Amino acid sequence: MTLQQLRYIVTLEMERHFARAAEKCMVTQPGLTIQLKKLEEEIGIKIFDRSKVPLEPTPLGVDIVEKAKKILREVDTVRDFVIEQKNILKGKMYIGVVATLSPYLIPLCLKNFQRTLPEVEFIISENSTVGLMKALEAGEIDIAMMATPTGNKNLKEFPVFNEPFMAYLPLTDQHTKDPSYILHEHNRKELLILEGEFCYNSQLLDICSLDTSNSLNNYSYEINSIETLKNMVREGYGFAIVPWLSTLNESTPDKAICKPFQDPQPIREISLVTSDTFSKKLLLEKMNQTIWESLPDALKLLTKYRKVRWDDSPYFSGQLKRTI
């Protein structure tokens, strides 16, 4: 017995005519007849007396049709409840943000979130790419803001914007006066990276075939934040590739300068990511729109770029295995 079969017998009882009922149910008349026959055979009761014109339900068929109407009303109630829950814009929402994005994006859009979604309590935490994916799958967070694609078939991705990578150079670099940055072979050994962010490093690997170690002179330093990278550059310990938003309020041009790469600029795609069972689509749409409206206009105007993937990088795959 299926809900569709129940809808068929309710419509037949209303129309008392196979052709009209079939048309109303948007099914062929033979198809409707076959489904009615299957249902009657399954329950062992004739629901309609086909010898009567117009068609009439049998005495037991009358009761069956009434019960079918009640069941369908309950189903519609459940459906309406689900739709209401999907569209509800209040309650707690656990948001995870990748650490290379959070310090720069959240201050830009948090007030707008509070204004657009005043009844939603946002509980925001930072994590690594791997940590965010695990938290989504475990149900520990509802939504992640991170670089995509993730390559994870259990997650759904909703792209919001593209963020360019910028070359962050000490003022002593010979290329600071160039309008855009071109990576030269001799620069690779001076590139500083984030030791713990595999997604970010995989993107840098794509950009410049980096050596994944911060080993200069007589020390080795595991750097875990964009701001530490920038401070190291300001003090002349190398150069870095950083996200565009991290340079938005740059306050020390006397020590370092940021340069765009030549077109097409390398970018990372920033998306809202959820588990494949997340259903609050209206909330996602509101968040997507709010983030976009909070971005600087200069970022929205970027058109010539190449997307830098990380989910298929051999570097990322190797590092991920070590964390599991």
Q: Are residues 42 and 177 in the same domain?
A: no
Percent of the chain residues past pLDDT 70, beyond the cut: 79
**End-of-domain residue from the set 216, 247, 265:** 265
Please report the pLDDT score of residue 321 as a whole number: 40
CA nearest neighbour of 55 among 32, 28, 38, 71: 32
Q: At what angle do helices 281-294 and 59-87 cross, to 10 degrees?
A: 20
Supply the range of the domain harboring residue 59.
3-87
pLDDT band at 324 (very low <50, low <70, confident <90, very high): very low
Q: Are residues 259 and 168 in the same domain?
A: yes
Q: Are residues 153 and 284 in the same domain?
A: yes
Please report the pLDDT score of residue 111 as a whole number: 93
Distances (CA, A) of 212 to 189, 201, 231, 265, 304: 10, 8, 19, 22, 28
Q: Which two tokens stand for residue 85?
A: 């829950």
Query: Domain holding 279: CATH number?
Result: 3.40.190.10
Average pLDDT of the segment spanning 231-238: 87
Residue 289 lies in a domain: yes
244-265: per-residue pLDDT in tens? 999 887 766 778 888 888 877 8
Q: Are residues 28 and 71 in the same domain?
A: yes
Q: Are residues 293 and 240 in the same domain?
A: no
CA nearest neighbour of 305 among 247, 271, 260, 272: 260
108-154: per-residue pLDDT in tens? 999 999 999 998 899 999 998 888 999 999 889 999 999 988 888 88
Q: How far apart are CA 51 and CA 56, in angstroms?
A: 9
Please report the pLDDT score of residue 316 as a whole number: 38
The DSSP output letter for 188 is: G
62-102: per-residue pLDDT in tens? 999 999 888 888 877 777 666 555 667 788 889 999 988 99
**Number of domains, the chain:** 3
Q: Is the pTM of this model over 0.75?
A: no
51-64: per-residue pLDDT in tens? 888 888 999 989 99
